[in-house]
């Protein structure tokens, strides 16, 4: 009789399940575990989005440079109408890094003449849409080097690509020289004051001795 009562008591105890206190402790442990995972997951997600944005901006900047370079290397009749607007900073062939002292855009415009149209001033940024994302492209040049028959044979050039949010949620940095945002771990959309991508280069005719001399400073 006693053995039967003990077994019934054990069975009844097992059917009772967790107590309220045990449930509360379990819930607290789960919440602590979830909270510990949220921060790293947000860091990974934000970093991935930001680095993807930088990658797209770099591709957009490179396409602008390649377009100018191909135009020059094809040997077509290049005029000031089809090259970037002049910078307010003096820079010659072989000194493209000086263009980093050009102030950022003061206005954002929809450049007319196609999706890759150029702005008419170095102080204007062209609104570009790339992979369903909006960017602002600032493109400008230094001094032109002319060859025989007053033909353009080269010029230094810089392209900056900003996040569109830079101009809708704030303003770009005016501290020079201006460099691009670093691709680092982040929990936000990065430093909106800086461009996502910056490419600085010389655009020259590859077979032009005039341009080569201008770059190498030959006598």
- Segment 135-158 mean pLDDT: 93
Which tokens in the block code for residue 194?
A: 């800086």
Given a cut of 70, whether residue 141 has pLDDT beyond it is: yes
**Beta partners for 138?**
160
Beta strand 124-130 with 107-109: parallel, antiparallel or unpaired? parallel
pLDDT of 38 > 80? The answer is: no
Give the model confidence (pLDDT) of 58-108 as tens digits: 999 999 999 999 888 876 667 777 899 999 999 999 999 999 999 999 999
Distances (CA, A) of 199 to 29, 101, 111, 174: 50, 13, 20, 18
Global pTM? 0.74
Tell me the pLDDT of the chain averaged across its residues: 80
The answer to whether 93 and 214 are in contact (CB under 8 A) is: yes
Neighbours of 25 (CB within 10 A): 12
């Amino acid at each position: 009789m006693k053995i039967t009562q003990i077994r019934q008591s054990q069975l009844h105890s097992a059917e009772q399940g967790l107590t309220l206190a045990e449930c509360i402790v379990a819930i607290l442990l789960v919440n602590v575990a979830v909270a510990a995972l949220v921060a790293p997951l947000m860091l990974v997600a934000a970093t991935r989005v930001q680095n993807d944005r930088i990658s797209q901006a770099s591709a957009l900047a490179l396409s602008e440079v390649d377009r100018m370079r191909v135009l020059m290397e094809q040997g077509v009749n290049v005029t000031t109408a089809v090259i970037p607007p002049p910078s307010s900073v003096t820079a010659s062939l072989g000194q493209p890094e000086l263009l980093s002292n050009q102030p950022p855009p003061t206005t954002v415009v929809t450049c007319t003449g196609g999706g890759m149209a150029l702005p008419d001033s170095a102080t204007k940024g062209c609104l570009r849409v790339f992979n369903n994302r909006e960017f602002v492209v600032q493109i400008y040049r230094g001094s032109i080097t002319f060859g025989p028959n007053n033909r353009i044979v080269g010029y230094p050039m810089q392209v900056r690509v900003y996040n569109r949010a830079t101009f809708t949620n704030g303003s770009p940095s005016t501290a020079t020289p201006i460099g691009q945002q670093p691709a680092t771990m982040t929990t936000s959309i990065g430093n909106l004051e800086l461009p996502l991508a910056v490419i600085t280069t010389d655009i020259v005719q590859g077979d032009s001795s005039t341009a080569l001399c201008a770059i190498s400073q030959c006598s």
